[in-house]
Amino acid sequence: MGNMVFFQLLGACIRLALSQLVQSRLGFTGLVLLALLLVGVRAGHPRLAWWSAGLFFLLTLQLQA
């Protein structure tokens, strides 16, 4: 039981750090796409996950150019 709580807290910390990084680099649009990606994966909706991952990738490419 203790391991499960630890991994849930670790996952929450990683998501928070990643969302802060995305928001600072990619703005609100990147944060929304990341949230849609996570929702698609957790809900088992592969089409939503793939579309949001693809748009997220295109957004990162646009910022690097």
Sign of CA dihedral 6, 10, 12, 16: positive
Tens-place pLDDT, residues 33-44: 878 887 887 888
Of 32, 33, 38, the C-alpha closest to 14 is 38
Block residue for tokens 């592969």: 46
Q: What is the pLDDT of residue 50?
A: 87
The span from the CA of 21 to the CA of 48, in Å, is: 22
Decide if pLDDT at 24 tops 80: no
Domain range annotation of the chain = 2-64
